[in-house]
């Protein structure tokens, strides 16, 4: 029976990034993916500012930004104008147009380079867990692992087998999506009876999105080109030929959130943990956010360095984030459907105000994520990528996190010998006058911030909570 430390079901964005994070920490990691190769179609084309900020902490954002197309606002549904990102709390004040397939290629290469194993054409069918690990059944044998991560989509076998509830609301409507060739103009195309469809340009083809006026009783009924053609013709009141279909699919506005992100030695991430309307193009981004939060915590648990309860904070932090994502996406759909209703008009006026625009942009993209809601403005938030001087060399804060280890950033030279068990980096910065030192979690979020005059008060407790039971000064 093959053995690994962590078995991951699913080689989508969540599974690939999680594998890379685990392998970075030296954890034996195997992905099993039921498809023999990456699907030829592309589900999404957007990385938001939050995802780029996170990927930058591992040195992965720069290459993607160089390849993609920058858009200076956040994708949003239901508002007539853009949510600009120029003043948002981010190092990347733009959305990046880049195919999800390319993002997956980069993450897969990263995971493989770090030693993870990816087995395509291997479908996880069932599993049992005990006090020491998980025995998983795939189509051609068994795997024994210490932990199992379900990154296997909205119909997750892992979630179902673990008995984790998936409460929420069923879809009220469905839309068809087709990657085809046609002669329609780009953007929203108005039809008859107030209906419309959307035409999105792609290299060599277009993506058409149109609401289904009479969805089938079984939402899993395959979408055909004739079906898409009939819906487009019905909206336009005329025939515009659709040709050369590349991908045809159906989606709805269902919204569901797993009751638990952890059940013993089983964890969920990405669509396995939550499904929601596609408003705000948030899907791949929240999957990456889940994986980035889980990776270092699970690695520390496997390696035996984690504090008691560290792995449980994954559910605590990301389940709350999932609740916000569902609320945000459903609110955007409601805005779109409300049209000229007074409260919809109120939201549009809020978005037109600079402060309201910034707040909504940060909410929609997850830039408002804060895991410690009280204390220094940096506490619980992703530390900004401020410029630093370390040993006479110019660098940035994000570069300190490439190794995936926690870092105590010493900005006053008073913490240099504080502990030999964590990375202490002495640096200076023109952007940090109100903070003497910060403890950075491996995901870049601030676990502790020392302000002028406070010394090391609270630092030892933060280290024990987020790093583990490591030697710290008695006076810490």
- pLDDT (tens digit per residue) in 211-248: 998 888 888 899 999 999 999 999 999 999 999 999 99
Task: Name the phi and psi angles at 271, rounded to 5.
Answer: -60, -20
For position 126, what pLDDT does the model report? 96
Give the pTM: 0.95
C-beta atoms surrounding 452 within 10 Å: 10
> Residue 451: which of 399, 400, 389, 379 has the closest Cα?
379
Query: In the predicted model, what is the mean pLDDT of the chain?
Result: 93
Task: Name the phi and psi angles at 426, rounded to 5.
Answer: -85, 130
Domains delineated in the chain: 3-168+256-365 (3.50.50.60), 174-252 (3.30.70.2450), 381-467 (3.40.30.120)
For position 474, what pLDDT does the model report? 62
Q: What is the rounded average pLDDT of the residues 123-135?
A: 96
For position 245, what pLDDT does the model report? 96
Would the pLDDT of 339 be above 80? no
Q: Provide the CA 55 distance to its chain's centre, in angstroms.
A: 10
Q: Provide the CA 34 distance to its chain's centre, in angstroms.
A: 22
Q: What Cα–Cα distance (Å) separates residue 166 from each residue in 46, 162, 257, 275?
A: 26, 11, 6, 10
Would the pLDDT of 39 be above 90? no
Task: Using DSSP, state whether 150 is helix, strand or coil.
Answer: strand
Q: How far is the C-alpha of 260 from the C-alpha of 165, rounded, in Å?
A: 8
Q: How far is the C-alpha of 436 from the C-alpha of 463, rounded, in Å?
A: 16
For position 81, what pLDDT does the model report? 78
CA-only gyration radius of the chain, Å = 23
In DSSP terms, which residues pair with 79 in a beta bridge?
A: none
Q: How far is the C-alpha of 300 from the C-alpha of 310, rounded, in Å?
A: 9
For position 82, what pLDDT does the model report? 85
Would the pLDDT of 160 be above 70? yes
Report whether 329 contacts 277 (CB < 8 A).
Answer: yes
Q: What is the rounded average pLDDT of the residues 82-102?
A: 94
Report whether 279 contacts 198 (CB < 8 A).
Answer: no
Q: Which of the listed ranges 361-370, 419-428, 449-458 does the model predict with the highest average pLDDT?
A: 361-370
Model confidence pLDDT, tens digit, residues 279-337: 888 999 999 999 999 999 999 999 999 999 999 999 999 999 999 999 999 999 888 88
> Residue 18: which of 277, 272, 257 has the closest Cα?
272
| 382/344: higher pLDDT | 382
For position 341, what pLDDT does the model report? 84
Would the pLDDT of 37 be above 60? yes
For residue 71, name the pLDDT band (cuts at 50, 70, 90). Answer: very high
Would the pLDDT of 419 be above 80? no
Task: Name the phi and psi angles at 392, rounded to 5.
Answer: 80, 0
Would the pLDDT of 80 be above 90? no
| 374/389: higher pLDDT | 389
C-beta atoms surrounding 321 within 10 Å: 18
Would the pLDDT of 448 be above 60? yes
Would the pLDDT of 465 be above 70? yes
Q: What is the rounded average pLDDT of the residues 4-24?
A: 98
Would the pLDDT of 22 be above 90? yes
């Amino acid at each position: 029976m093959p053995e690994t430390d962590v078995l991951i079901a699913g080689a989508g964005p969540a599974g690939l990034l999680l594998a890379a994070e685990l392998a970075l920490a030296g954890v034996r990691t195997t992905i099993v993916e039921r498809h023999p190769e990456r699907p030829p179609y592309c589900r999404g084309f957007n990385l938001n500012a939050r995802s780029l900020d996170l990927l930058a902490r591992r040195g992965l954002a720069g290459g993607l930004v160089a390849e993609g197309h920058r858009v200076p606002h956040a994708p949003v549904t239901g508002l007539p104008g853009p949510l600009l990102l120029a003043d948002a709390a981010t190092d990347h004040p733009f959305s990046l147009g880049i195919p999800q397939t390319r993002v997956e290629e980069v993450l897969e290469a990263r995971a493989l380079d770090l030693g993870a194993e990816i087995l395509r054409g291997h479908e996880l069918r069932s599993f049992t867990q005990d006090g020491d690990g998980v025995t998983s059944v795939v189509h051609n044998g068994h795997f024994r692992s210490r932990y199992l991560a379900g990154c296997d989509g909205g119909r997750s076998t892992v979630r179902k087998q673990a008995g984790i509830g998936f409460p929420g609301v069923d879809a009220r409507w469905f839309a068809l999506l087709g990657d085809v060739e046609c002669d329609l103009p780009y953007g929203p195309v108005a039809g008859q009876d107030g209906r419309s469809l959307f035409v999105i340009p792609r290299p060599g083809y277009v993506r058409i999105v149109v609401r289904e006026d009479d969805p089938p009783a079984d939402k899993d009924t395959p979408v055909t080109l004739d079906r898409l053609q009939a819906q487009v013709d019905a909206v336009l009141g005329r025939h515009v030929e659709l040709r050369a279909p590349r991908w045809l699919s159906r989606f709805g506005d269902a919204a569901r959130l797993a009751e638990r992100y952890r059940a013993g030695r089983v964890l969920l991430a990405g669509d396995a943990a939550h499904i929601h309307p596609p408003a705000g193009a948030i899907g791949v981004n929240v999957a990456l956010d889940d994986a980035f939060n889980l990776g270092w915590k699970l690695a520390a648990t496997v390696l035996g360095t984690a504090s008691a309860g560290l792995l449980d904070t994954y559910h605590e932090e990301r389940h709350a984030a999932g609740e916000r994502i569902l609320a945000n996406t459903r609110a955007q759909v409601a805005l779109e459907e409300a049209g000229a209703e007074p409260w919809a008009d109120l939201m549009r006026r809020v978005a037109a105000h600079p402060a309201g625009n910034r707040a909504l942009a940060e909410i929609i993209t997850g830039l408002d994520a804060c895991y410690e809601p009280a204390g220094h403005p940096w506490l619980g938030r992703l530390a900004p990528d401020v410029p630093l001087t370390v040993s006479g060399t110019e660098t940035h804060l994000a570069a300190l996190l490439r190794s995936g280890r926690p870092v105590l950033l010493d900005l006053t030279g008073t913490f240099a010998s504080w502990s030999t068990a964590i990375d202490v980096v002495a640096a200076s910065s023109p952007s940090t006058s109100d903070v003497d030192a910060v403890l950075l979690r491996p995901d870049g979020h601030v676990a502790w911030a020392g302000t002028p005059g406070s010394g090391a008060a609270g630092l030892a407790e933060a280290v024990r909570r987020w790093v583990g039971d490591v030697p710290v000064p008695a006076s810490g």
